[in-house]
Structure 1
Amino acid sequence: MTEDDSALSEFAPGLWLADGPVVDGALGFRFPTRMAVLGLPDGGVLVWSPVALTPDLRRSVDAVGPVRQVIAPNGLHHMFVADWAAAYPQADVIVAPGVQNQVPGLRVTADLRQAYPAGWEGVLDCVLIETKIMTEAVLFHRHSGTVLFTDLLQQHPPGWFRGWRGLVARLDGMVGVEPAVPRKFRVALRDRAAARNAVRQILNWRTKRVVMAHGAPVTHDAPTFLARAFLWLRP
């Protein structure tokens, strides 16, 4: 796949994935991008963590169903949300805390710190995990049994980061044998008790799969994987 090409593919019942271009982060770190399209009961779709909006990707999404909602699930994944909000003016724009500050003038329908959209009941579950770096909205798509993480779980392939960035990535836990919570987020938790409660809710979901923006999806024994990934947070 080239950096300006993307394709929507079915990943699970009622859930599609698309990989977008590689984007530049702070200090020269570069990151792959991934978004998900979630089916809603009325036949419409929710676009999670939108990647660059290309004509081909737009046609693929429109073929699945009308875009009802667009969500930016943390303050680090805001780069393309305004483009999607402009392309789909009828869609609700839902943001995690901090996103609106990153995108001045963004048309926001709901901030997840205040309330969850009424249409999510019985369809999507959501918990917030707050760090001093960002607050992430972790979603659970009940129909497909999929938990969606943006940055809290990551697994970049060996060699993705090079030189001193590669060393930092290894020390931070961004590169490893399986997806993990980077150490920078672990030490930046605002309230460990609140985070434990959020993770407890996540572990109680009937998970079949885990999707993350930066790493291969987990499709085998996902509940055990999640318990292992957050073992460090136990008292």
Structure 2
Amino acid sequence: MLKEFGREIWIADGPLVAVAGFHYPTRMAVIKLSDGSLFVWSPIKLTDGLRAAVDILGDVQHIVAPNSLHHLFLPQWKQAYPTAKLYAPPGLRKKRADIAFDVDLGDAPLPDWTGQIDQVLMRGNLITTEVVFSHIDSGTVLFTDLLQQLPPKSFSGWRAIVAKLDLMTGPEPSVPRKFRVAFSNRGAAREALGRILAWPAEKVLMAHGTPVEKDAPAFLRRAFGWLIG
């Protein structure tokens, strides 16, 4: 259920989620902080088995939605862990007024994880403002939707054509074409990307795609070459 991905970080894959007729695989990460508490990133559907595995690791105190598109399972996790704080990225409070968020995410890491997890807002996109994280101990950069790679066999007919044109089914994860076009402020995006490229990345994790576990800096420069150039 939970797979160790590096020092003090674990991942779990969840069920497919349907969006506009497309079925996306889901993935979450759990990071153990120095005080023993758990930071849950992009939570997937909570099953009894997953909850048992998470509880073995520690006490869930931080439930993090990394962008305004990843919110489906937040109420489920908050119900299971009522003392945990819910963290909202830009735009999600308004979109999910039914959820009582505790803290808004910004460009700076919060005191509970300063020195352990860094973060930056990838601004300038009309679809969503994604919070990109860097887990220092494992050298993992965590993207959500800005990088994707879906199995080509996941689609058929016109959906397969759309997925290919959107750059979602390439040989390695990339920024989908719809997100590239949606960057209305590329200057803001480049500024955020500069911070990301300065992180000592060893791995890249994403919610929808194959994790990159070697040559992470080179991969990131390829994936965002269209923005750098």
TM exceeds 0.5? Answer: yes
Aligned residues between the structures: 228
Residue by residue over 1:180-208, the C-alpha shift from the partner in whole angstroms, topping out at 9 and shown as x without a partner, is 00111111113111100111100000001
Distance (whole Å) between structure 2 residues aligned to residue 133 and residue 160 of structure 1: 23
Residue by residue over 1:89-129, the C-alpha shift from the partner in whole angstroms, topping out at 9 and shown as x without a partner, is 11111111122233222121111148642212111111111
2:41 corresponding residue in structure 1: 48
Identity score, percent: 52
2:197 corresponding residue in structure 1: 203
2:100 corresponding residue in structure 1: 107
| Residue 158, structure 1, aligned to residue 152, structure 2 | yes
Distance (whole Å) between structure 2 residues aligned to residue 109 and residue 25 of structure 1: 27
Structure 2 residue runs without a partner (length 5+):
none
Post-superposition offset of 1:139:
0.4
2:206 corresponding residue in structure 1: 212
- In the TM superposition, what are the counterparts of 1:127-146 in structure 2 within 5 Å? 127-130=120-123, 131-146=125-140
| Residue 61, structure 1, aligned to residue 62, structure 2 | no
Question: Which portions of structure 1, spanning 4 or more consecutive aligned residues, are displaced by more than 3 angstroms?
Answer: 113-116
Amino acid in the other structure paired with 2:63: V
Distance (whole Å) between structure 1 residues aligned to residue 26 and residue 133 of structure 2: 17
Structure 1 residue runs without a partner (length 5+):
1-6
TM-score normalised by the chain length of structure 2? 0.96
Amino acid in the other structure paired with 1:128: L
Distance (whole Å) between structure 1 residues aligned to residue 6 and residue 194 of structure 2: 24
| Residue 73, structure 1, aligned to residue 61, structure 2 | no
Distance (whole Å) between structure 2 residues aligned to residue 129 and residue 111 of structure 1: 15
1:227 corresponding residue in structure 2: 221
1:16 corresponding residue in structure 2: 10
Distance (whole Å) between structure 1 residues aligned to residue 106 and residue 34 of structure 2: 24
Residue by residue over 1:123-156, the C-alpha shift from the partner in whole angstroms, topping out at 9 and shown as x without a partner, is 1111111311111111000011000011000011
2:116 corresponding residue in structure 1: 123
Distance (whole Å) between structure 2 residues aligned to residue 111 and residue 132 of structure 1: 19
Give yes or no for contact 2:67–2:131 (8 Å, CA) kept in 1: yes
Amino acid in the other structure paired with 1:96: P
TM-score normalised by the chain length of structure 1? 0.94
